[in-house]
Amino acid sequence: MSVFSDTLTRYIEHKNIKVFSLAKYCNLDRSTMYKILNGKRNPPSSEVFEKMTQFMHLTPIEYNFLKETLEITQVGPDTYYTRKSVENFICQFPDQPATDITGSSFSPDPVSEQCQTDCISLVSQQHIDYYVHQMILSESVHADGKIAMFIQPDYKFLFSLLASLHASASLKIDHIFCVGTEYAFTKDHQLINLKYLREIFPLYMAGLNYSLWYYYDRIQSHYYNFNLFPCMILTSDAAILCSSDYQNGIFIKSPDVVQLLWNQFISYKEQCSLFFRPAPLTPENHKAVIDSMFDTFYDQNDLIGIQPEPCLTPFFTGNLLHEIFNYDLPQADAILAAAEQAFQMNMVKIQNEQFLIYSTREGLLQFAKTGLTDEIPEIFYHPLTVEQRIEILNGVRQCCETGVYRFLQKPLSHLPHNLHFCIRGTMGSMVFRNNTGQIIVLNIEETCLVSIFRDYLEHMNPASYYSTEKAVELVDQIIHDLQDNRD
């Protein structure tokens, strides 16, 4: 039996469906239908599945549940829920400023007020929150502040506090966490590693000097199986060791002990790897960013991405690039040469069928309206004229005809405007505008995360994007509207 056959059998019994009548309606022989009911095979086509649901008069909820069980049976639960987790991450991309909780009020701790000891026992999460709040806010205003965390990104108070900091530019945050070596999901079937990513991403949005380090292990055994105080939070003059449920811990002020814990953290960090490598996309930093995205192996790898607007840079070449470029920038000639080479490499990928971009009609409409693309900071170029926009749109149209560019439908038709995700071979990058207005390129160093995003994009359900004909029609309509407005 399978989860699909179990559900189908339950519906048949609940609705008093005759198996013979159902088989006849679906143009199947009785033995084939019984094989489906026994979990020995799946419906031979989507048309048969639709006929089965029509005959049983399923409600929308019943239909969606049965369809989900079929997909789970076809690809396996781990793959199905991993892909759904990726889709949920994309749809709920955490690109908004965090709620400011730096001013949260706590009742004074009577133990700390009455006792001047260097070690205080913490006996509740509120108790731990109190000391975390004091430590982080105090450190955030130091001229050379530093925070270190050896902890999973499931302590919401801590990460919300960090994301809402108005810290000095010199505050440095290092964070070590464990990446699971096997599929692990929450009770609502969300992939834990992606859940963690959603929790830490607001720190990058906040523009903090935040470095994320990782190591591989079994999360459950490392943090939850009788391990005494596996979590650690450090500042320059204090430390907290606590349990993985944040209900018990120790607050430490002894300089010798705090230094001992810092030495231990540094030794751990030396054995870990960077998860992300962030870089601001600025005129001063253009070479490092372009080199990281267009490395030596770029031409050997395919490129697949998802973003609100189609990738327009392949068409920013030749005279057009020279016409829109901002020559007032420092190092203008070097930036122009590097951009021209990179954009031409993208066009070669399109011609070699190594390029696939999922985007939205809304994103293309925004470009048609403004002449701007979020792929490139506005400081680098001037808005495109209507004629230039039409030229670009004709290039997009050709890519839609070949299937290189695809326009998303529900549930992805309204992508968060700040999401640009790109995979090149085993490398990946996220491009977004942080809360200070800077465009950040976040290169992904951890290959497992890249692989699950690649798997999702390579196996995108065709029902999630428009047909080639419809995509061409959408672009034609936008071009037509621009021409009408110009005239």
DSSP conformational letter for 208: -
3-state SS class at 255: helix
Say how far apart CA 97 and CA 105 lie, in whole Å.
21
3-state SS class at 424: strand
Encode burial over 363-386: b for 16+ CB neighbours within 10 A, e otherwise: bbebbbeebbbbbbbeebbeebee
Angle at 469 between CA 466 and CA 472, to 5 degrees: 90
> Look-up: residue for tokens 């930036």?
335
Is 466:409 a contact under the CB 8 Å cutoff? Answer: yes
Provide the pLDDT for residue 185.
87
Q: Where, residue-wise, is CATH 1.10.260.40 in the chain?
A: 3-75
Q: Could you report the average pLDDT of every consecutive run of 10 residues in the chain (487 residues)?
A: 91 92 90 90 88 93 94 93 92 68 58 67 94 93 92 94 82 93 84 90 91 88 76 96 94 95 97 92 70 57 91 90 92 88 88 92 94 89 94 95 93 85 89 86 91 93 92 95 80
End-to-end CA gap in the chain: 64
Provide the pLDDT for residue 60.
93
Superfamily for the 3-75 domain: lambda repressor-like DNA-binding domains (1.10.260.40)
Of 337, 321, 300, 291, nearest to 429 (Cα)? 291
Provide the pLDDT for residue 296.
46
3-state SS class at 306: strand
Provide the pLDDT for residue 107.
57
Sequence length of the chain is 487
Q: Where, residue-wise, is CATH 3.30.870.10 in the chain?
A: 110-274
CATH of domain 110-274: 3.30.870.10
Provide the pLDDT for residue 44.
79
